Amino acid sequence: MGRAVLDAIPDPWRPHIGDIVIRVEDFCDDETARAMDLETPFDLLGLYRGVALPDKGISDVPGDVDVVFLYRRPILDYWCETGEDLTAIIRHLVIHEVGHHLGFSDEEMERIEGAAD
């Protein structure tokens, strides 16, 4: 589902996405949970890990691949608790994390998402 959302992202953003990997894991790792000061691993549904496009330079040596993590158990729990459409949840998460890849902050993403609603 995450890959389908990523593949459907329209221009003008599509050319800037590159080869982002969608990775599904049950939960975030312990290091991430500690770094984000999560009360429980169920608090994190998705995460972008990589270097945002505005921070990349032409002379930079390519490093790790840009990854959007989708955390299966928290997503499924959220889906069961809210009754929201699972496809819509995944779409929201992928687009939000791709926004971070494009260099948008959480606050900017909230404004963009609010304008789209």
31-80 per-position pLDDT tens digit: 999 999 999 999 999 999 988 877 776 666 666 788 999 999 999 999 99
Domain count, the chain: 1
Evaluate whether 75 touches 65 at the Cβ level (below 8 Å). Answer: no
Evaluate whether 70 touches 94 at the Cβ level (below 8 Å). Answer: yes
Percent of the chain, pLDDT > 90? 46
Whichever domain contains 80, its CATH number is: 3.30.2010.20
| Domain span including residue 102 | 2-55+62-116
13-22, 64-73, 106-115: which range is least confident on average? 106-115
